[in-house]
């Protein structure tokens, strides 16, 4: 378990699952969860490259923390949007949110 | 004094123009009162003319002239100027006097006409142009006013243009005059080409270098202007038609003044007319005098008789000039202006009365000018009758009256001419005396038919009344001026023309040569003409004329007496039957010759108008059928065809295929591609990821 491939494999599986979730799910909360998966896949990559990429400093770690913070902020904003969406149209199905469609 | 006369003459020239312009501007507002302007202005003009007359003729003041540069360049210099001598002052007086009287007469005659103001405006324009001709010192200035006179004549003949006959008559007058004027212009230009001047008093001294053939041609061409304006054969046809204008206009323009302008102009150019040219002029005058007199016999329209008599008398004047008796010609011009204006105004008075009578009877078919509807008007219109009788005596050449003196002088001239040349020139005195006989005959025929005998129509006759004072006053004045003593004062011997008129034109002794003016050859002022041809001795001609005086007087008295006698036997005493005479004349062929006006109108109709109209219609057919229909229209059809094709090409190919095709292509793709724009984010994401995957795969390949 000391080579980078395993980490990258986990991260890409996680990313693929996230993308799959984002593409296939209609529920906004589920899509948000998919996005979290993608972000976390990215985080794993950051950490992995920091660990195995020959870097002296903790750049990857710091980036991971930033991403986590951003994810939290993003989740907060997204959840607020979703709540408003639910208030307005009574559902969190993204397909129903088509008022801005041309 | 010179300046006074010049300024006055400028007033005389431009005041009538002022009357014309002011009547055009304010005339509508003045309406029936507009004659005040015209009458006061023309009255003023007459007073000024009389002043000039007094100074030049009575006081024997020397001729004055002034000129300004009009066109000047290094090579040519054309001045416009004024020249006043005895002839000018007499003419000014005649024109302004008759013009004033006609204005006065017209206030009554034209009363109620809907274009009352315009009538007086036109009279003003005419007087202005006529004064211009009289005062002109150069051919070119004379020509300018010559055309203006033609214009005002045109306007006044066609004054009642609603009538087709009046409109046509005005056109005929204008066009016939143009024929003469073209000749006049060419002649002027020939003279100018050779002498480089238009100045009338300078030309005779400069033409001696010209070959006599060219000078004869030039003189005759200028004389053509007079042939047109003074209605000489063969351009006399317009004058009888011109009677369509109002009668006062006929009196002023077509009897007394404008038609005399041709004679006046011939006097002015007399000094450089060659002997050959003068011979032609005398023959034209003789033909005109005789022919018009013959035509006048068979006219029934009172104005037509007077019109032909005018032509005949103008022929006399021209004939007088041709034979060298230019003083007699001018004398006859003046006396004729008085008695013919009187005759016309009298006929106007009769027509006016007839018209009112017919109007009262509600009769619109009877011709008020036809003498066959008159008769016996003597007691109904005593003043008109008396005046007309006096004027008729004058024109017939009865002693005591002015016509006798002037006609006698011309006839003496023709006799002298025959005695000097013999041969064919016998026709000139023959025509002169013949025309004098016929004149006496037809003028008394007019008097008898109109005023004497029994009324032809009792109803009309009973409603005829004497004309109002505004009309009879001019008649009385003009009839007084038809007496001989007016022209021979202080001498009152009725058989001698020795008087102020002769003196003013002959006398040179009294002229003060120290006062000579710049441009004037003061040795030969007034009408004493220094002929350019030294062989043509005018003094000798004068002398011959004087020798023939008694013979001419005897003969002219005789023919006048015969004419009046014949006329009274036919029309007053009814001793001879008119029907029989007519029948006899018809047999001889003279009746129809006179009745049909020597066939001149129909000759013109056949040899000029008809071929011309045929040519016009040919040209029109060529233009319409060949040029228009075939050529132009075929271009049109080709263009139409071409545009048809291009429209088709445009529509079928460009529009339908290319433009619409591209639109359809876009629409097709639109239809296909619009499904990709689902608006569902996941789809886009899916597509994006697919793209990344594909790119990744591609990079892997590389």
The domains found in chain A, sorted by start residue, are 4-89 (1.10.287.3510)
Place of tokens 């042939």: B227
Query: Which two three-digit tokens encode residue B438?
Result: 């016929």
DSSP string for residues in B499-522 = SHHHHHHH--TT--GGG--TT--T
Q: Is B361 exposed, middle or buried (0-12, 13-18, 19+ CB in 10 A)?
A: middle
d(CA B461, CA B377): 7
Separation in Å, CA of B661 to nearest CA in chain A: 27
Q: Can you give the pLDDT at residue B98? A: 92
Select from B283, B393, B260 the least CA-distant residue to B334.
B260
Count of alpha carbons within 13 angstroms of residue B79, beta-carbon side: 16
Residue B641 CA: distances (Å) to CA of A25, B321, B534, B638, B654: 69, 72, 79, 5, 19
d(CA B542, CA B326): 9
Q: State the Cα angle at B322 between B534 and B608, rounded to 5°.
A: 130
R_g over Cα of chain A: 17
Nearest CA to B234 out of B648, B677, B603, B698 is that of: B603
> What mean pLDDT comes out for the span B59-76?
82
Inspect the interface and report whether the beta carbons of A23 and B679 lie closer than 8 Å.
no
What is the reported pLDDT for B342? 92
Contact call for A95 and B686, based on CB within 8 A? no
Q: Give the total residue count for chain A.
A: 102
- Total Cβ atoms within 10 A of residue B462: 13
pLDDT at B535: 67
- Judged against a pLDDT cut of 70, whether residue B184 lies above it is answered with yes
Quote the CA–CA distance of B51 and B59 in Å, as a whole number: 11
Of B226, B214, B425, B203, give the one whose Cα is nearest residue B315.
B226
What's the rounded mean pLDDT across residues B282-306?
90
Residue B530 above 80 pLDDT?
Answer: no
Is B517:B2 a contact under the CB 8 Å cutoff? Answer: yes
Nearest to B680 among A22, A95, A102 (CB): A95
pLDDT (average), residues A43-55: 86
Query: What would the two tokens of residue B125 be?
Result: 């324009």
CB nearest A19 (choices: B680, B681, B689): B689
- Give the percent of chain B with pLDDT over 70: 94
Cα angle at B76 between B72 and B82, to 5 degrees? 65
In three-state secondary structure terms, B77 is strand
Which chain B residue lies closest to A100 (C-alpha atoms)? B679
CB contact under 8 Å between A94 and B685, yes or no, is no
Contacts of A102 in chain B (CB under 8 A): 677, 679
Q: Which residue has the higher pLDDT, B33 or B43?
A: B43
Q: Return the structure tokens found at B651.
A: 């529509």
> Which of B677, B679, B686 shows the shortest C-beta gap to A23?
B686
Find the angle CA(B653)-CA(B655)-CA(B656) to the nearest 5 degrees. 70
The average confidence (pLDDT) of chain B is 85
| Alpha carbon distance B101, B477 (integer Å) | 8
Q: Which tokens sit at B70?
A: 């009009």
- Between the alpha carbon of residue B588 and those of residues B73, B303, B592, the distances in Å are 64, 27, 9
> H or E stretch including B82?
strand B77-84
Count the Cβ atoms, other than its own, within 10 Å of residue B606.
11
Q: Which long-range contacts (CB under 8 A, 24 or more apart) does A4-7 make?
A: A4/A48, A4/A49, A4/A51, A4/A52, A4/A53, A7/A44, A7/A45, A7/A47, A7/A48, A7/A51, A7/A52
Q: What percent of chain B has pLDDT over 90?
A: 23
Q: Are B369 and B300 within 8 A, CB to CB?
A: no
Asked if residues B52 and B9 have their Cβ atoms less than 8 Å apart, the reply is yes
Rounded Cα–Cα distance for residues B444 and B369 (Å) = 17
CA atoms within 13 A on the CB side of A99: 4
Q: Which residue has the higher pLDDT, B137 or B588?
A: B137
pLDDT of residue B234: 85
Q: Is B598 exposed, middle or buried (0-12, 13-18, 19+ CB in 10 A)?
A: middle
- Decide if pLDDT at B697 tops 70: yes
Nearest CB to A101; choose among B679, B682, B685: B679
Check if the beta carbon of residue B291 is closer than 8 Å to that of residue B435: no
Beta strands in B311-380 (DSSP E): none
pLDDT digits (tens, 9 = 90+) for B632-652: 889 999 999 999 999 998 888
DSSP secondary structure code for residue B398 in this structure: -
Chain A neighbors of B693, CB-CB under 8 A? none
* H or E stretch at B70: strand B64-72
In the prediction, which pLDDT does A101 show?
Answer: 58
Rounded to a whole number of angstroms, the distance between the first and last alpha carbons of chain A is: 51
**Residue among B682, B686, B688, B691 with most chain A CBs within 10 A, to mutate:** B682
| Residue B571, SS3 per DSSP | helix
pLDDT tens sequence across B356-407: 888 888 877 778 888 888 878 888 888 889 999 999 999 988 888 888 888 8
Residue of B182, B212, B206 whose CA lies nearest to B193: B206
pLDDT of residue A23: 86
Contacts of A1 (CB under 8 A, 6+ apart): none
- How close is the nearest chain B Cα to the Cα of A23, in Å? 5
Banded pLDDT at B34 (limits 50, 70, 90) = confident
Distances in Å between the alpha carbon of B485 and those of B400, B496, B521?
7, 10, 33
Question: Nearest residue of B to residue A31 by CA position?
Answer: B682
Q: Is the ipTM of this complex over 0.85?
A: no
Q: Which chain B residues contact residue A99 at CB under 8 A? A: none
Measured in degrees and rounded to the nearest 5, phi and psi for residue A63 equal -60, -40
According to the model, what pLDDT value does residue B508 have?
Answer: 36
Cα–Cα distance measured from residue B103 to residue B123, given in angstroms and rounded to the nearest whole number: 8
Window from B29-38, B229-238, B424-433 with minimum mean pLDDT: B29-38
CB contact under 8 A, A24 and B680: no
* Separation between Cα atoms, residue B537 and residue B540, nearest integer Å: 5
pLDDT given for residue B312 in this prediction? 92
Which pair of tokens denotes residue B257?
């003044």
Among left, alpha and beta (phi > 0; psi -120 to 50; other), residue B397 is left
Mean pLDDT of B24-28: 83
Q: What are phi and psi of B302, to 5 degrees?
A: -60, -40
The residue of chain B with its CA nearest to that of A96 is B680
- pLDDT at residue B62 in the model: 78
Task: Give the range among B262-266, B397-401, B522-526 with minimum mean pLDDT.
Answer: B522-526
pLDDT at B510 over 70: no
Tell me which chain B residues have a C-beta less than 8 angstroms from the C-beta of A94.
680-682
The pLDDT value recorded for residue B364 is 76
Average pLDDT over residues B81-89: 86
pLDDT of B625 reads 85
Residue B549 has which token pair? 């005086």
Q: Which residue reads 């039957």 in tokens? A: B577
Using a CB–CB cut-off of 8 Å, the residues of B that contact A are: 677, 679-682, 685-686, 689
Q: Is the pLDDT of residue B513 over 70?
A: no
Using CB atoms, which residue from A22, A101, A102 is nearest to B682?
A22
CA distance B566 to B578: 11
Confidence of residue A100 (pLDDT cuts 50, 70, 90): low
Q: Is the pLDDT of residue B539 over 80?
A: no
Q: Across the A/B interface, how many CB contacts are shorter than 8 Å? A: 17
d(CA B332, CA B538): 19
Q: Has residue A12 got a pLDDT over 60? A: yes
Percent of chain A whose pLDDT exceeds 70: 96
Contact A23 B682 (CB under 8 A): yes
CB atoms B682 and A94 under 8 Å: yes
Which stretch of A27-36, B129-138, B569-578, B689-698 has the lowest confidence by average pLDDT? B569-578
Interior CA angle at B308 toward B306 and B311, to 5°? 110
Query: What token pair was written down for B515?
Result: 């006062």
Query: How many C-beta neighbours within 10 Å does residue B168 have?
Result: 15
Judging contacts by C-beta atoms under 8 Å, the chain A residues touching residue B680 are 94-95
Q: Please tell me the distance from the alpha carbon of residue B174 to that of residue B147, in angstroms, as a whole number.
A: 10
């Amino acid at each position: 378990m000391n080579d980078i491939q395993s980490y990258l494999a986990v991260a890409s599986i996680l990313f693929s699952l996230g993308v799959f979730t984002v593409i296939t799910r209609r529920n906004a909360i589920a899509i948000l969860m998919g996005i979290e998966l993608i972000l976390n896949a990215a985080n794993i990559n950051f950490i992995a490259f920091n660990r195995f990429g020959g870097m002296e400093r903790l750049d990857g770690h710091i980036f991971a923390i930033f991403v986590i913070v951003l994810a939290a902020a993003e989740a907060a904003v997204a959840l607020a949007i979703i709540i408003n969406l639910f208030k307005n149209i009574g559902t969190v199905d993204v397909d129903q949110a088509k008022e801005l469609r041309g | 004094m010179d300046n006074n006369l010049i300024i006055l003459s400028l007033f005389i020239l431009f005041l009538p123009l002022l009357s014309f312009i002011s009547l055009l501007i304010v005339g509508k507002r003045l309406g029936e009162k507009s004659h005040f302007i015209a009458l006061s202005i023309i009255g003023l003009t007459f007073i000024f003319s009389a002043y000039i007359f007094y100074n030049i003729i009575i006081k024997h003041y020397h001729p004055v002239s002034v000129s300004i540069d009009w066109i000047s360049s290094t090579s040519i210099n054309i001045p416009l100027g004024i020249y006043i001598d005895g002839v000018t002052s007499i003419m000014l007086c005649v024109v302004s006097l008759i013009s004033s009287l006609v204005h006065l007469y017209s206030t009554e005659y034209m009363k109620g006409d809907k274009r009352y103001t315009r009538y007086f405006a036109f009279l003003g324009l005419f007087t202005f142009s006529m004064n211009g001709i009289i005062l002109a010192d150069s051919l070119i200035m004379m020509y300018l006013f010559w055309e203006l006179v033609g214009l005002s004549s045109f306007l006044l003949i066609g004054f009642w243009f609603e009538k087709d006959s009046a409109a046509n008559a005005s056109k005929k007058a204008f066009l016939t005059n143009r024929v003469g004027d073209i000749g006049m212009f060419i002649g002027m230009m020939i003279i100018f080409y050779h002498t480089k001047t238009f100045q009338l008093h300078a030309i005779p001294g400069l033409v001696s270098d010209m070959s006599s053939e060219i000078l004869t041609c030039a003189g005759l061409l200028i004389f053509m202007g007079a042939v047109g304006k003074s209605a000489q054969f063969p351009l006399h046809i317009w004058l009888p038609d011109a009677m369509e204008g109002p009668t006062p206009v006929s009196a002023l323009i077509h009897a007394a003044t404008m038609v005399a302008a041709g004679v006046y102009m011939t006097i002015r150019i007399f000094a450089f007319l060659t002997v050959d040219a003068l011979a032609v002029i005398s023959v034209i005058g003789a033909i005109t005098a005789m022919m018009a007199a013959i035509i006048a016999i068979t006219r029934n329209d009172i104005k037509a008789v007077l019109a032909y008599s005018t032509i005949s008398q103008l022929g006399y004047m021209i004939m007088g000039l041709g034979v060298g008796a230019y003083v007699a010609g001018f004398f006859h011009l003046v006396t004729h202006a008085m008695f013919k204006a009187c005759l016309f105004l009298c006929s106007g008075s009769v027509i006016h009365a007839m018209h009112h009578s017919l109007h009262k009877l509600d009769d619109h078919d009877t011709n008020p000018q036809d003498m066959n509807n008159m008769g016996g008007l003597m007691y109904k219109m005593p003043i008109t009758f008396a005046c007309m009788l006096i004027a008729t005596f004058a024109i017939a050449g009865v002693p005591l009256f002015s016509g006798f003196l002037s006609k006698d002088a011309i006839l003496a001239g023709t006799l002298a001419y025959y005695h000097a040349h013999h041969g064919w020139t016998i026709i000139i005195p023959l025509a002169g005396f013949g025309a004098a006989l016929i004149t006496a005959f037809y003028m008394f025929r007019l008097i008898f038919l109109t005023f004497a005998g029994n009324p032809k129509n009792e109803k009309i006759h009973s409603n005829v009344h004497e004309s109002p004072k505004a009309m009879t006053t001019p008649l009385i004045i003009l009839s007084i001026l038809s007496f001989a003593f007016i022209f021979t004062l202080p001498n009152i011997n009725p058989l001698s023309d020795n008087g102020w008129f002769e003196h003013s034109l002959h006398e040179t002794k009294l002229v003060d040569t120290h006062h000579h003016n710049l441009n004037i050859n003061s040795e030969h002022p007034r009408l004493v003409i220094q002929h350019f041809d030294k062989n043509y001795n005018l003094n000798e001609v004068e002398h011959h004329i004087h020798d023939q005086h008694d013979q001419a007087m005897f003969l002219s008295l005789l023919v006048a007496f015969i004419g009046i006698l014949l006329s009274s036997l036919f029309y007053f005493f009814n001793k001879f039957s008119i029907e029989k005479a007519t029948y006899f004349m018809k047999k001889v062929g003279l009746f129809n010759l006179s009745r049909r006006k020597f066939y001149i109108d129909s000759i013109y109709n056949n040899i000029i108008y008809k071929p011309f109209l045929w040519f016009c219609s040919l040209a029109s057919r060529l233009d319409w059928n060949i040029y228009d229909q075939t050529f132009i229209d075929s271009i049109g059809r080709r263009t139409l065809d071409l545009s048809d094709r291009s429209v088709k090409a445009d529509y079928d190919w460009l529009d339908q295929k290319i433009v619409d095709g591209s639109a359809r292509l876009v629409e097709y793709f639109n239809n296909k591609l619009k499904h990709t724009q689902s608006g569902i984010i996941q789809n886009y994401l899916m597509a994006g990821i697919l793209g990344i995957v594909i790119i990744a795969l591609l990079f892997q390949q590389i």
